[in-house]
Amino acid sequence: MAQPIYPEDAIPWVGLFFTINAASLTLIAIAMKLPVDLNTDMSVSKTIGIIFFIVMLGNSLPSLGLMGDTELLTNMVAFGILIITITVNVWIQYATANGLIIYVLPMIMLICSLPWPFSIALTIPASRKILQHRYKELHRLASNPQDINFSNKRLIRHVKKYWMMAETGNPQFAVACSPISSAFGVLCLCFACSLVYIFLFIYGWNYLLHNDEEFPLIHKSEIISDYKWSMKLIVIMQSVGTMVGSIAPILRCLTSISHFDLSKKWTKNHLNVFRVEKYWTQILHLWKRNHVGSGIPGRHSKKLLHIFKNMILNFFIAVQIMIVVICKTICLIPRSFLILFSCWCYICKSLMKRFRQKPNVSNSNVIPDTEENTGYVLQTEAEAKLSKKILRKSFNSITRILHQSEEKEPMNLLKLLKKSTGFNGVLEFDNDQVPPLHPEEIQNCWSLVAVTLTAIALSLPNIENGHAKRLLASMSEGIEFVRHIEESLNTNGELVNARKAARHVWTDVDVYCTWLQMDLQKKACKGETSQKILEWLGDEAVNTVIQFKRSKDGIPDHSLRNFIAANSMYRISQTILLHCNEQENWPTDEELFEFISTIIADLMCACFTNLPRVIILRCHADAIEKREESIRTAALLLGKSKKIMEILEARKLPNLDMNSMAYIDMWHALPKSLISACYFSYACRIQPTSSTSCESIEITIV
């Protein structure tokens, strides 16, 4: 029921809530069994149940922010039916009570706060449109680069821009910072303080522990009712639930009031409780303009219906304005304290400056970020500006994510990439002299080729166990980056099937050391040579393709995956056989393992040239619900790939456009002369300013 909270969030209390759905509504109905029971007299225990219900209303507000229009309408209708049922039953009991103030005040608060969730729900569509429109405008301003750039600082700046847009453009953030949410926080504070005062200072805990017959919150008639001993448990549980549940609304209230930068204009606007922003009534005015009754005959009937509809909507507009004014009036209490406290702090700082001048160096690297990215803050109110404290928290959170992900750098993968001195592997993994098994050309994807090469390397005999384990560990780290790249860039149907086949094969290779349920170590254990093993893998691949052709009608998904994997295994194993046969002497098993490892490293390097583009694409998400998770993924990917970027930054790239660089077949189609010109120079990495020396050094694999 609870939205997951990330500890890095700048304002974590915005995300602490329970969702309004069928499960939560059922639990609310169960919790309200005692207050709606007409067979027991009105008592303080029922009043605590009503207070507990109001606290639950306050905790449910942020969940409305990420609901779509249909989901929002459905849930609010169900929520409204439940609220009406509870209110009617409770009102009947209050009407027959003795009129004690302890009963009347919670009832008044209940009646006043019941329309508040519906008032917030009416603003959600308008708020989403405003935030979405401003996000698109800023997205156009933060134009995506049209070239491959491995600069870590440039990517970090890009990620921070979108992080700020995702954090502040979340509708849950707008709901949590609204006057209604703050008003719920004030009510919850009053309820929590009242219960603490009742339990600790009036009755004391000794009644709860020792004096069962004089438990003050339970009427004698309730002791002899059907609830019996469970009455005390219900009261204690709901009282504790009220105090614990009040924490999140109270902290949301304090956060929302202090998250704006204080200024004369802000203070004037927010002290003016009669200033109601347009988005509060925008949806109601839209309904007024909509034409209804097209199926009703007669002009007079249509006119009456139109007048009746406008009268109802005008009433709800007035109610909406009244709710906003009441909530803003309630919010004046904490806002006044905030303004007074800010003035007191300003006076103290002014006095201290007269005695000493202390330079502020603690946030010297954060302030430029806040000033640079202030324009990427999304708010429903254009005039409102976030305080520097909240901006610093937001940038500290993204900086923390980046630093933590940098500490999780893929060490095994980096060791593998150091074996690569160019991109020759994109040509060497497949030889055009190998005859095709299928008339239709099968497209390759990065992960399938890398996984197939790994399977072949693990099947070789006389290889130290440590070398095989290190290759598996490197592939486990590398395949994570490859999948991000393929999911972002390789989206056509045929490549999706190839990715599924690669995922299926990699699970078998990594966990069971098998390929299509065949033990990769079987032939090596029997003393077979590497040549025999390569021929065996090719023959098994041919058999799989033949079986697929015979059962082409009504082929299941796993047969298609096996066919794609077998086609890749056939071509790669035959290519390696051709390469070995072209040598003067057949290479040793260790040399062949090293050759395959180098091809994998070259493939990984070629694939990772797409990382900057993928990180930039991951920063942006059209759906508001996925935006924050997407930018978090981009930040984690950027932090983990920092060392990879440094390796690629010192490498010359082929003359290939950005879209083509995402596909391994486009790399494979490049001329060998063009690929051979792309090499890695260690001198270039050590002395990046010496461009002439970089061009004169070339390292090749013989």
- Joined together, the tokens standing for residue 568 give 């890749």
19/78 Cα distance (integer angstroms): 13
Confidence of residue 270 (pLDDT cuts 50, 70, 90): low
Q: What is the pLDDT of residue 267?
A: 58
445/506 Cα distance (integer angstroms): 13
In the predicted structure, residue 6 carries a pLDDT above the cut 70: no
Confidence of residue 426 (pLDDT cuts 50, 70, 90): very high
Which residues lie across from 651 on neighbouring strands?
680
Angle between the N-to-C axes of helices 230-245 and 247-258, in degrees from 0 to 180, rounded to the nearest 10: 20
> Beta strands 514-515 and 518-519: pairing type?
antiparallel
Provide the 8-state DSSP code for 444: P
Confidence of residue 443 (pLDDT cuts 50, 70, 90): confident
User: With pLDDT > 70 as the criterion, what percentage of the chain qualifies?
Assistant: 78
Contact assessment for residue 271 and residue 265, using Cβ atoms and an 8 Å cutoff: no
Tens digit of each residue's pLDDT (9 = 90 or more) over 300-331: 777 888 888 889 999 999 999 999 999 988 88
Q: What is the mean pLDDT of the chain?
A: 79
Helix (H, G, I), strand (E, B) or coil at 582: helix
Tens digit of each residue's pLDDT (9 = 90 or more) over 543-560: 998 888 877 655 566 788
Phi first, then psi: give them for residue 461, nearest 5 degrees.
Answer: -85, 165
Confidence of residue 225 (pLDDT cuts 50, 70, 90): low
- Residues 38-46 have a mean pLDDT of 69
Helix (H, G, I), strand (E, B) or coil at 357: coil
Range in 213-222, 428-437, 627-636 the model is least confident about: 213-222
Contact assessment for residue 76 and residue 128, using Cβ atoms and an 8 Å cutoff: no
- Give me Rg for the CA atoms of the chain: 34
Burial class of residue 80 in the structure, from the number of CB atoms within 10 Å of its CB (0-12 exposed, 13-18 middle, 19+ buried): middle
521/460 Cα distance (integer angstroms): 8
Q: Tokens 């893929």 label which residue?
A: 410
Contact assessment for residue 466 and residue 593, using Cβ atoms and an 8 Å cutoff: no
Which residues lie across from 422 on neighbouring strands?
679
539/566 Cα distance (integer angstroms): 10
Tens digit of each residue's pLDDT (9 = 90 or more) over 152-168: 888 888 898 888 888 88
- Joined together, the tokens standing for residue 287 give 């309904």
Helices vs strands, H then E, count in the chain? 33, 2
Q: What is the pLDDT of residue 207?
A: 52
554/551 Cα distance (integer angstroms): 7
Q: What is the pLDDT of residue 42?
A: 63
580/363 Cα distance (integer angstroms): 60
In the predicted structure, residue 96 carries a pLDDT above the cut 90: no
**C-beta atoms surrounding 62 within 10 Å:** 29
Confidence of residue 3 (pLDDT cuts 50, 70, 90): very low
Q: What is the pLDDT of residue 213?
A: 47
Q: What is the pTM of this model?
A: 0.80
Q: What is the pLDDT of residue 681?
A: 43
Tens digit of each residue's pLDDT (9 = 90 or more) over 173-213: 888 888 898 889 888 888 888 888 777 655 555 454 455 44
Tens digit of each residue's pLDDT (9 = 90 or more) over 357-391: 544 444 444 445 566 667 778 877 765 666 666 77
H-assigned helices in 490-529? 493-507, 522-525
Q: What is the pLDDT of residue 592?
A: 94
